[in-house]
Chains A and B, each alone.
Chain A
């Protein structure tokens, strides 16, 4: 494979990844509104286009046509930079998520992942910690007390939950013995899903993922009744759309990660016993990955409309006194599994 083929294939992969991500972000907003409506016995948006399917585009155009306000007290550079940091982090993380096994097109083996990095999980952790900067800068540079409080809360929360997130991932790494996402998925062959082998780690990771993405019940950085809009109080127009997109993109990435690390990625148990040919199997497996991710996204929305927000002290209590010890217990549990069963 010469260098040009590699470049072209990579660019195509990136384009596909970005378009699917943007489209799914748009429709996440739509489904968020629909599911919230269903949970409250309402219908939800159904006017723009067939069943309201064009609603997200109408929302985006409305946002783009609004005036871009920068407060006088704001630090203009950081105020402009913040949403772009959030967006960049959200989109860049997507690069290492594998959506399926290798596929053969025109006699070439193509991996269904934008960048097959051998330290993929470290890359994800590093980038998600960068995400804190977007939110903190936004809070600090707006020159408003609500934004500042939102930013402080968010940085404290994200740093606290990153600890338990990291330790939960350590359990996964012990079993897969690799940081490469593809190897992690391959290690969960059949029913050897990490969610089944290490349920405690699964729960701590999911809870930390909720906290990292600032979703309810951990959405204290933008707690409307207390902080108006939280860190994006002073944002409007395109910059606000940036934060909005980043929030939903983060959610999608969190779901992809949960699926990759704990729900077996593209694995379908016993699919090789059906005797299908390679292409059909691959398509089914990609479908399985998308289905699992969609299910996790539904869970994200479902939880948001079911559970009330935690108080700030409760949040910190859960983060440090419950989630952190539990993720340590999980590591010991996985170590015992390896010792006893020699997995």
Chain B
């Protein structure tokens, strides 16, 4: 093999390796006593910051009604075609509500486009990252699982108002 010219020539102590090896080993030894970064997951859970994009959820307002007006923009913008909305009429001021709102969590790619496009601030990304199901049917989340009271989503909504 042809030896390449180095940019910087090593001096004698660097070339006999031993000094450099000892330096490297001292570095790793120091690191052994530094605090550990590991989180022991099931006992200690990661609390994500407001910018975290977890599972998308529907906002349930203080009066116990969902904000969604079933305009269908989220399902149009969804690149993975994960959202299905069926609109119906209602007595409330907003006139329309989603009769059926399903997100297929096997399809969802957590891009957050639905949240970005929503005119009513009705669908937001939550901090929930524990998504477990044992069959494909369970992965389709209906309104029962999607509706989350607004108190739990304050962080994210404030974050959206600031940066969106």
Contact = CB atoms under 8 A, between A and B. Distances in A.
Nearest to B33: A38
Contacts of A305: 28
Contacts of B31: 38-41
A35 interface: yes
Interface residues of A, number: 15
Given A306-B27, A313-B1, A39 B21 contact: no
B34 interface: yes
Interface in A28-54: 35, 38-43, 46
A82 B71 CA distance: 69
Interface stretch (B36-44, B123-131, B153-161): B36-44
Interface of A: 35, 38-43, 46, 203, 302-303, 305-307, 313
B152 to A, nearest CB: 31
A39 B32 CA distance: 5
Contacts of B27: 306
Given A38-B32, A302-B28, 18 more contacts: A38-B33, A38-B36, A39-B28, A39-B31, A40-B31, A41-B31, A41-B36, A43-B36, A43-B38, A43-B40, A46-B40, A302-B29, A305-B28, A306-B24, A306-B25, A306-B27, A307-B21, A307-B25
Interface string B86-101: 0000000000000000
Contacts of A40: 31
B132 interface: no
Interface in B1-20: 1, 18
Interface size class of B (residues with CB under 8 A): 10 to 19
Contacts of A41: 31, 34-38
Contacts of B34: 41
A40 B18 CA distance: 22
B72 to A, nearest CB: 47
A148 B40 CA distance: 42
8 contacts: A39-B28, A41-B35, A42-B36, A43-B40, A302-B25, A306-B25, A306-B27, A307-B21
A37 to B, nearest CB: 8
B32 A307 contact: no
A39 B31 CA distance: 5
Nearest to B26: A306
Nearest to B1: A313
A307 B29 CA distance: 12
B29 to A, nearest CB: 7
Nearest to A42: B38
Given A203-B18, A313-B1, A306 B28 contact: yes
Residue among B28, B29, B36 having the largest count of chain A Cβ atoms under 10 Å: B28
Nearest to A203: B18
A116 to B, nearest CB: 36
